[in-house]
Chain A
């Protein structure tokens, strides 16, 4: 079974504020050494997908830098491999992507040319680890036209997610997009699996008519005529672009050994760009409790309940508590941060103290405070 992977990674992620000033939400650093897109990309590659198109639009520099030739995901191939699909200027048009369906439609050549039978659409913002093989099987055994990944709505606000209702056979009978009224009992995880020809037909019949959204204009109107099935995923799943607190919470989830195990089982790896940094070093004055610390760090201060990315320097006497500290940041001697998010290459100067109360304090890339 040949499957084409498509990853929607063009969004800014409005709710992440300054975190996405300089990068698309799919390129947001997460869990110490990863970028958000690593999860969906690795899930697809592990499922045997050999051609993946990444649809980018908003400030893609950071994302492109991360993806490179796709080598870290074994996508630097002679056949297939990684396709970066960005908006372009052509003879007849010069358009940004006006929506998810439009984005795919503008790149329909990739669908038309390939020899794949199916297409799997995912998002670059989702943090989860799934084996797609059973999803493919489920799609065939239920004779589905479209299979949508769903999850019980427990713990998720339906105002932020699409929700679905299903009949007793898990066929979707109602689909609401971010509506508070009468939501379904499952949320839509934004992962769609369907026959490629069907996808193309649906695109040809909608996008030229000015309908640009995959969910609103293609899936919801077709709930009645197509067999849209729900595949219930029960594992850990987060969308990092919902809010800054949600982003922090997702990082903090890594301190729960169960989540850590579920996201990074040795047999189902998540791949990312390697940097070959030395193992983190804890010196004689350093201590680390209930935290994760990535490679290249030198810890001489005290770290509690935090997620520390690569190449971070926590100097003697410094205290880091309940914080997310991204790559290359330095916490100078005697400084203290509590409930903060430090973007890359931030320096907290000697003896300074920053404490976030209800909301985490956010420091922008390259800030020296």
Chain B
């Protein structure tokens, strides 16, 4: 998986454009205040770290990150790209936000529009290829292998696909190819999928081929300016060399609470598919400077990740603890994702939960406790028995939080005088709903 060696002149053979503006509505409270690529993942990372690290590990050093929805946390995280060695004299990391031009100012209307708005940016590097990526996915991929495929096929455009169960295929764009991997049909989120090959939202285009296409699309008023909906289907003709590259490896779209929870918990199992410990394919991040994790005399930790700054006196099982988490005596944490700087008091029982950054759980609390009742208000978001406590929440001591329930960001249950959030209910600023 070694990156290709490049001389100076081919430094900008390829540039990557990362689409990082999506809200990720199905992550509920987790993306209330941050954009999906900035959602914490795997103990010390944020989701976009995987895409950025893949770029660096594939020797792609010129990267544009397109932001739009609530970019504060993301922009702070990225900085000048120093943590990914992208603070460079030539190339490097560029945060590209929507801007106002002389005539009018516009938000990015869709993924294709976002790239079209930055044609000038791409042109200044005059790259041969443009790699379009999404900052929403957790995966480990060498883009060079895809680029080699693209070059060997003499392609105009290449889409990266992964095989998914046919029952899941309706959630993706699906691709049908001929025996040379040329794309014969492309369907965006089909009701009755006919192919297992799902689009990963990763494309390589010859820039000379893509540029006129983007200009044309941005002038088309009937278009939704989306790669999956508008651009890719148009490429399925005999005279455009549009190929599908089949990726075999770890790739997850952690777009729902359930898949987010699952992908995190997967990391605690032995030999997980995503190897965070591979010295030749390291994932880089911007993390806080904290001392190593401390395990107290009564700590019992199995099958878990415990990050720097953690102080553990309780029992932790099948759980991902992010940086700076404190678990006090007598507390049991199971099958949960506990984010940065969360403080969990004494004698709590926490199961199947996600707890957001900087939250404080008082003593004797029970979270993820009760019957599996369907969430009344948001059945599609909080499901499968997972409870979500947002960021900066203060849960009063002795409180009970049920299954499939949620507590909104920055709420203080003590001030709200709420001792119980029953299963299937959500606590928001106005009270239980």
* Contact indicator B291/A288 (Cβ below 8 Å): no
- Please tell me which one of the listed residues B267, B294, B323 contacts residue A260 in the complex, with CB atoms under 8 A apart: B294
Which chain A residues lie closer than 8 Å to B123 at the CB level? none
State how many angstroms separate the Cβ of B166 from the closest Cβ of chain A. Answer: 33
Say yes or no: is B284 at the interface (Cβ < 8 Å to chain A): yes
* Contact indicator A278/B294 (Cβ below 8 Å): no
Q: How far is the CA of A126 from the CA of B295 in the complex (A)?
A: 25
Which chain A residues lie closer than 8 Å to B295 at the CB level? 288-293, 303
A residues 16-34 near B (Cβ < 8 Å) are 31-33
Which chain B residues lie closer than 8 Å to A284 at the CB level? 270, 302-303
The stretch of A55-63, A168-176, A265-273 in contact with B is A265-273
Which chain A residues lie closer than 8 Å to B311 at the CB level? 257
Q: Of all chain A residues, which has the CB nearest B290?
A: A264
* Contact indicator B302/A276 (Cβ below 8 Å): no
The stretch of B5-13, B212-220, B275-283, B392-400 in contact with A is B275-283
* Contact indicator B304/A282 (Cβ below 8 Å): yes
A 285-318 binary contact with B (CB < 8 Å = 1; else 0): 0111111111110100001000011000000000
Which chain A residues lie closer than 8 Å to B299 at the CB level? 288-290
- Please tell me which one of the listed residues A270, A287, A296 contacts residue B302 in the complex, with CB atoms under 8 A apart: A287
B 75-89 binary contact with A (CB < 8 Å = 1; else 0): 000000001000000
Q: Is chain A's interface secondary structure helix, strand, loop, or mixed overall?
A: loop
Q: How far is the CA of A287 from the CA of B323 in the complex (A)?
A: 19
State how many angstroms separate the Cβ of B390 from the closest Cβ of chain A. Answer: 22
Say yes or no: is A281 at the interface (Cβ < 8 Å to chain B): yes
Which chain B residues lie closer than 8 Å to A270 at the CB level? 289, 291
Q: How far is the CA of A278 from the CA of B283 in the complex (A)?
A: 8
Give the interface centre of B284, B290, B298 by most chain A CB atoms within 10 Å. Answer: B290
* Contact indicator A280/B297 (Cβ below 8 Å): no
Q: How far is the CA of A255 from the CA of B270 in the complex (A)?
A: 28
* Contact indicator B43/A292 (Cβ below 8 Å): no
* Contact indicator A31/B83 (Cβ below 8 Å): no
Q: How far is the CA of A276 from the CA of B49 in the complex (A)?
A: 11
* Contact indicator A257/B44 (Cβ below 8 Å): no
Say yes or no: is B300 at the interface (Cβ < 8 Å to chain A): yes
Q: Of all chain A residues, which has the CB nearest B297?
A: A290
* Contact indicator B292/A292 (Cβ below 8 Å): yes
A31-B292, A294-B308, A309-B292 given. 12 additional CB < 8 A pairs? A254-B291, A263-B291, A266-B324, A279-B293, A279-B308, A281-B277, A283-B270, A287-B300, A289-B297, A290-B299, A292-B293, A295-B308
Q: Interface residues, chain B, CB within 8 Å of chain A? A: 42-44, 83, 267-268, 270, 276-277, 282-285, 287, 289-308, 311, 320-324
- 28 example contacts (A-B, Cβ-Cβ < 8 A) are as follows A31-B292, A33-B291, A255-B294, A257-B296, A260-B294, A263-B291, A276-B83, A276-B283, A276-B284, A276-B285, A279-B306, A279-B320, A279-B321, A281-B277, A281-B304, A282-B306, A283-B303, A284-B303, A288-B295, A288-B299, A289-B296, A289-B297, A289-B298, A290-B297, A291-B295, A292-B295, A294-B308, A303-B295
Q: Interface residues, chain A, CB within 8 Å of chain B? A: 31-33, 254-255, 257, 260, 263-264, 266, 269-272, 274, 276-284, 286-296, 298, 303, 308-309
Query: A-B pairs with the 10 shortest C-beta distances?
Result: A278-B276, A279-B43, A32-B292, A294-B292, A279-B307, A288-B295, A264-B291, A279-B305, A292-B292, A290-B297
